[in-house]
Structure 1
């Protein structure tokens, strides 16, 4: 149902590509991430982003940026929304722009989203149970985002217990699992995540900051680790 793109293959063959979630819709931030070694860029729609205290608009509002981003030619992913998500027609338009996957929390996964050509990347939450993990992984063709940290843990160091929780998710499913940087992930953390079978790190503002300089420095450190 979904295209087996080079990016998806890199999630399944141990390549450990770096995905960067933009702190804001800024083409220079995206370019800095790719120049520093990122493979894919993730953006946002219809959402309030807690880590950056920023609200992202509708597809119509964000489309000019997406069209500019598409010119970079890299794999694109989108956090598609919360209570509001794109229409079926907007999902088709995102695919035409080069978006390969979409991400929502499982509570916001509306049926029409699964009819699109964008591969689903449902997100676990801090309250997800082992049964939730298995039910999400049962969605055909999916990627799992292990967004499991409570807000009070944001920007703190990854612990051995955190690593064990991530590993338990990897061990419970047979689909790629990506880890967003809710924690202050370091290059050593990235190596540890790769060693337990995580498919990719998803680096957001907590790790990358929101300047071109901080983006370049942090992404390069993890991409080369």
Structure 2
């Protein structure tokens, strides 16, 4: 149903590609991420981003940025929204721009999103159960985002129990699992996540900071062998 893209191939063949979630829609940040070695970029729509306090607008509002971002030629993902998500026509427009996957919390999934050309990347939450994990994994062609940390754990170090939780999710499914940097991941943490079966890290502002310089440095460290 979905095209076998470079990103999906990297996720399913153990390449551990670094995906960067942009803290704000800024082309200098995007270029810095790619300069640092990011494989793919994730952007946002219709959402309030708790880690940074940034509000992202509708597709119509964000489209000019997306059109410029698409010119960078890297794989693109989009966090599609919360209570409000793109229409079917807007999902088609995102696909036409080159976006290949979309992300929402599973509670915000709407049927028309699964009919689009964008590969689903539903997110778990801090209250998700093993049954929720199995439900998401049953979606054809999906990727799972293990966004499982409660807000009070944001920016704290990864503990052995956290690593065990990520490992258990990866072991329970036969689809790629990516882990967002809700915690303050270090390069060593990322190596441990890779060994635990995680397909890719999704690095956001907690790790990358909010400047091109901090972005480039953080991604370079994460992407190093």
TM range, smaller chain:
over 0.9
- Report how far residue 6 of structure 1 moved: 1.2
CA displacement, residues 31-82 of structure 1 (integer Å, 9 cap, x when unaligned) = 0000100000000000000000010000000000000000000000000000
Partner of 1:95: 95
Partner of 1:217: 217
Q: Secondary structure at the match of 1:197?
A: coil
Distance across 1 between alignment mates of 2:30 and 2:212: 9
Partner of 1:185: 185
Structure 2 gaps, min length 5:
none
- Report how far residue 105 of structure 1 moved: 0.1
Distance across 1 between alignment mates of 2:111 and 2:24: 28
Distance across 1 between alignment mates of 2:54 and 2:7: 28
- Summarize the alignment of residues 105-184 of structure 1 with structure 2, pairs less than 5 Å apart: 105-184=105-184
TM-score by length of structure 1 reads: 0.99
Partner of 2:74: 74
- Report how far residue 99 of structure 1 moved: 0.3
- Report how far residue 191 of structure 1 moved: 0.3
- Report how far residue 200 of structure 1 moved: 0.2
TM-score by length of structure 2 reads: 0.99
Distance across 1 between alignment mates of 2:114 and 2:4: 16
Structure 1 gaps, min length 5:
none
Output the aligned Cα RMSD: 0.4
Distance across 2 between alignment mates of 1:159 and 1:41: 27
- Report how far residue 115 of structure 1 moved: 0.3
CA displacement, residues 5-28 of structure 1 (integer Å, 9 cap, x when unaligned) = 111000000000000000000000
Q: Secondary structure at the match of 2:82?
A: coil
Runs of 4+ that moved beyond 2 A: none
Distance across 2 between alignment mates of 1:6 and 1:105: 24
- Report how far residue 151 of structure 1 moved: 0.4
- Report how far residue 146 of structure 1 moved: 0.1
- Report how far residue 222 of structure 1 moved: 0.5
